[in-house]
Chain A
Amino acid sequence: MTKEQIRDTILEIIAQIIPDEDLSNLKGDIPIREQVELDSMDFLDIIMELRKRYGIEVPEDDYVHLATLDSSVVYLEPRMRKL
Chain B
Amino acid sequence: MVAKEPNETRIVITGVGLTAPNGNNLAEFRKSLLEGKSGIQKLNIRYMGDVLAGICHFDPLKYQKKKELRRGTRAGSIAIYCAREAIADAKLDLACLDKSKIGVYLGITEHGTVETENEIYEIKQFNYDVKYWSHHHNPRVVANNPAGEVTLNLGITGPHYTLGAACAGGNIGLIHGLQMLLLNEVDLALGGGVSECTGSFGIFAGFRSEGALASHPDPTKACRPFDKDRNGVVVSEGGCIFVLERLSDALKRGAKIYGEIAGYAINSDAADFIFPNKERQVQCMRLALNKAGISPEDIDIINTHGTGTIEGDPVECQAIREVFGEHPHAYINNTKSFIGHAMGAAGALELAGNLPSFEDNTVHPTINLDHLDPECRLSNFVINEPKKIDKVDYILNNSFGMLGINSVVIAKRFKQ
Contact = CB atoms under 8 A, between A and B. Distances in A.
Interface in B70-86: 70-71
A73 B362 CA distance: 67
B184 interface: no
B140 to A, nearest CB: 11
B66 A19 contact: yes
B252 interface: no
A44 B135 contact: yes
Contacts of A17: 67, 70
Contact of B132 (A20, A41, A51): A51
Interface in B127-149: 131-132, 134-136
A30 interface: no
A51 to B, nearest CB: 7
Contacts of B131: 51
B275 interface: no
Contacts of B135: 41, 44-45, 48
A18 interface: yes
B132 A19 contact: no
Interface string B57-96: 0000000011100110000000000000000000000000
B65 A20 contact: yes
Contacts of A82: none
B126 interface: yes
A45 to B, nearest CB: 8
A42 B136 CA distance: 10
A45 B67 CA distance: 12
Interface in A17-40: 17-20, 37
A19 B136 contact: no
Contact of A48 (B66, B70, B132): B132
Contacts of A42: 67
A19 B71 contact: no
A65 to B, nearest CB: 20
B88 to A, nearest CB: 22
Contacts of A48: 132, 134-135
Nearest to B66: A19
Contacts of A19: 66-67, 70
A63 to B, nearest CB: 13
Contacts of B70: 17, 19
Contacts of B71: 41
Q: Which of A19, A20, A37 has most B Cβ within 10 Å?
A: A20
A41 B136 contact: yes
Nearest to B61: A20
A17 B136 CA distance: 12
A36 to B, nearest CB: 11
Contact of A20 (B67, B126, B134): B67
Contacts of A52: 126, 132
Given A41-B135, A48-B134, A52-B132, A18 B67 contact: yes
Contacts of B132: 48, 51-52
Nearest to B135: A44
A42 B65 CA distance: 14
A39 to B, nearest CB: 10
Interface in B86-141: 126, 131-132, 134-136
Closest CB pairs A-B (n = 3): A19-B66, A20-B65, A44-B135
13 contacts: A17-B67, A17-B70, A19-B66, A19-B67, A19-B70, A20-B66, A42-B67, A44-B135, A45-B135, A48-B132, A48-B134, A51-B132, A52-B132
Given A41-B71, A48-B135, 9 more contacts: A19-B66, A19-B67, A20-B65, A37-B67, A42-B67, A48-B132, A51-B131, A52-B126, A52-B132
